[in-house]
Amino acid sequence: METTGMEKKKTAKKVLTGEVVSDKMQKTIVVQISSRQLHRLYKKYVSKTKKIKAHDEAGEAHIGDTVRVIECRPLSKDKHWRLVEIVERAR
């Protein structure tokens, strides 16, 4: 039996942890992912932030919560992540 080149390989999905910065949309939250990287030339740490949109079906995450999100299939134009759990509630 011969196979074609149309087979897909399964890859591990990325899991990120960040802080919710917006919950104003329906079933969507904006999560800010912060990281520190060592600059190759200057050997100083540079803070980098990235904002991603994640699907929150129940609407349970709110601004200030620390959440864990996982990569998933595209749900809309720029929503490719799904809420897994709320690690810590905002005070």
Segments making up each domain of the chain, as ranges: 15-88
The distance between the two most distant Cα atoms of the chain, rounded to a whole number of Å, is: 60
Q: Rounded CA gap, 18 and 52, in Å?
A: 10
CA 31-76-69 angle, 5° bins: 30
Query: Which one has a higher pLDDT value, 7 or 23?
Result: 23
- For residues 51 and 80, give the distance between their C-alpha atoms in angstroms, rounded to a whole number: 12
CATH class of segment(s) 15-88: mainly beta
Q: What are phi and psi of 39, to 5 degrees?
A: -70, 130
Residue 90 or residue 10, greater confidence: 90
Per-residue pLDDT tens over the stretch 31-69? 999 999 999 999 999 999 999 999 999 999 999 999 999
pTM exceeds 0.85, yes or no: no
